[in-house]
A and B are shown apart, each in its own frame.
Chain A
């Protein structure tokens, strides 16, 4: 046991010059970071922002992930604390039906006009 501890400390000592425990964000973490809006510099996601607040938010996301929360849980958690505004990817709900639907509706209307104009169904 003692040997093992010695080994570990030795190893840490060695690696102190290089490769100090780098907490490299995973792909999932980055995805979540990019989707959360920073409340301090309000035009940026916490991924882009360097503000203190964004850094803390990243720690919270990481902590929650390691506590077994899923991506969705984290969004729910942030939404509960800070309102829908923090999410860059708006959820589909009563307020955002039109946001998601309107472009598609316009696309279909446009298509209908063009089909008429092209005379597909006319001889």
Chain B
């Protein structure tokens, strides 16, 4: 009797482990931070791209408006590709905040001169601190912040057609 219980437990465990490993195999093994619920936009600070003055997030974020925060750099090739989407977002009813990630000011400026400046404000993030305070993973990355200053979406990687439409959907 006791033996039977033991056998049953072993086989249940056996099947369970197999199932878990089987499902586990289908999942990606690299980790990308996912946003499973809305989280409050953390405080962050950086330097103004043009004047170089120190800026604190509380002071520049206006109340009651949508924000899109985009992290970019002139050396990042996908950023070039997504730039046209950002330009197209430019005249909608929200603010586009750019964060210039570990970049050379001159290169960054010529990048903007060449492709246009969609941002209503740009912070420069020389040593990557601002991005980490924001909870960003790399470049390019885009956050969508609602009127209550909650991050409602994180887009890791460049914006494409599909994601562009998602953004428009979200900030209607």
Q: Is the CB of A42 within 8 A of B127?
A: no
Quick check: A55 and B128 within 8 Å, CB to CB?
A: yes
Residue A82 at the B interface, CB < 8 A? Answer: yes
Known: A39-B137, A80-B135. A56 touches B33 (CB 8 A): no
Interface band, chain B: 10 to 19
Known interface pairs A60-B132, A80-B135. Does A85 touch B127 (Cβ–Cβ under 8 Å)? Answer: no
- B53 within 8 Å of A (CB atoms): no
User: What residues on B are CB-neighbors of A56 within 8 Å?
Assistant: 102, 127-129, 131-132
Chain B at the A interface: SS class: loop
Q: B31 at the A/B interface (Cβ < 8 Å)?
A: yes
Query: Which of chain B's residues has its CB closest to A82's CB?
Result: B33
Taking A39-B33, A81-B42 as contacts, is the C-beta distance between A59 and B128 under 8 angstroms?
Answer: yes
Binding site for B on A (CB under 8 A): 39-40, 42, 52-53, 55-57, 59-60, 63, 77, 80-83, 85
Q: Residues on B close to A: CB < 8 A?
A: 30-31, 33-34, 39, 42, 102, 127-129, 131-135, 137-138
29 pairs of residues in contact across A and B, judged by CB atoms under 8 Å: A39-B137, A42-B30, A52-B128, A53-B128, A53-B138, A55-B127, A55-B128, A56-B102, A56-B127, A56-B128, A56-B132, A57-B132, A59-B128, A59-B129, A60-B129, A60-B132, A60-B133, A63-B129, A77-B42, A80-B39, A80-B135, A81-B42, A81-B132, A81-B134, A81-B135, A82-B33, A82-B137, A85-B31, A85-B33
